[in-house]
Structure 1
Amino acid sequence: MTQQSPKASSTSLPPRDPKGGRPPQDIAAQLGAHILDVALEQFIHRGADGASMEAIAAAANVSKRTLYSRFGAKTKLLRAAVEHGVYRHLRPIATSIPNGSLHDRLLYVGMKMLDSSLKREVIGLETLVLWLVDHEVESLANTTMPGAPDGIRIIRSILDNSALPATMDDDALQFLARHIFDTLVTVPRNLILIRREFPNTTAAKRAYLMRALDVLLWKRDIA
């Protein structure tokens, strides 16, 4: 799989205090985001095994000691970088869900999450998640798709704000949220990337999701 070349981190940091010492809290937070941005670029470009703490520290313009003091080990830095990347893609979706019918809200988040899952960075994240699944006892929520647990939570929040909780218990709602995520994201992503049954175009994806939602919500008059 062809990976993106590392790009410059978008996090702009002020120069270090020549006197040394701990940076202010806001600067420390910026530094943390900067390190995770750079680490994610390095891991995607070089792979989990190929990226080194030395190279990441050099690219982030921090000391190796800083990396180890913050994250402890490369695997922990990798996990934090993957979670950071997932959050960066899903947070704008979770905070921009429009008002409207259940159908319209699910269509909105389904399109946004499917589009996000097809980006090169997210495909690169998937490779890193698979590495974590193979090398960690506690994998990233036992999933091979970046952001799946968070995506399911977004869908569940939409279901919880519909009329469904009056007719379904908690287990059924959680099962439905997982099923909707797979129907709107996992399956069409596979059809586009693996089986190549339809193109990665807005029109094709929207048509597929519209039909899928018609089936999912068939004979349900839900607000």
Structure 2
Amino acid sequence: MDIEDFKDQNELVLQTLKDFSNITTNLPNILILGSVGLTSHTQNVNYYRKIKDIDTIADMAYRSEIEDQLIERGYSRSTFIGRSMPFSNILIRYSSNRYTRFFKQDSCDLEILFTPFIYDKGRLRIELFPKFYASIPEKELIETELLGIKFNSLSAESLYAVKQLTHNSFGRIYKDDIQKRTLDHQALMNCINIEAYKVIVKEFKITIGFIPIPIKSLLYLTDK
């Protein structure tokens, strides 16, 4: 897919991204990950594809402000927790208001995880699931762009680490879109600095509560 095909096939994604970017311009604790974050890097190696939705993590402190502004723009709110999602029963019972989906006609889905952004000793710690935390160096948070739309995301190396972690854990259980995931891995690998990635592997932390989970074997370098 070339850039013009990408624009045509992702017109709704780009419009929704503009809406969200305009709303959150002055809010620093926002991370756009997923396919949009990936493409902000892989556009540098001319890798484009159809994007389904926008995956975002936002500071819980912004929740009311973001929700109010999206609703003012005509978006409706639901949850993106599905039965196939890991820990779905727990999430539906205790945390459905944190895992939000915003949608409207002529837009793509905007999925936002609202969670506290905790900074300590040069690191950012965020709760992905109840009591399940990820911790990364603050220096890995970057401003990036997709076709001129600016937003905050992760460095290519940290995003690759996230992809590796999910691919080598939940990805072994959920077999959907294997070909797409493989192509994404290959393209993103072409964007990373290998030596920088080796450092990130050592600094990327996952904990349950404050108990560290060994994940180094899940972050090994591979393009598959």
What is the TM-score of this pair, normalised by structure 2?
Answer: 0.29
Q: Which has the higher strand share?
A: 2
With a CA cutoff of 8 Å and minimum separation of 6, indicate the structure with the bigger relative contact order: 2
Say which one has the larger Rg.
1
Q: What's the TM-score once normalised by structure 1's chain length?
A: 0.30
Q: Which has the higher helix share?
A: 1
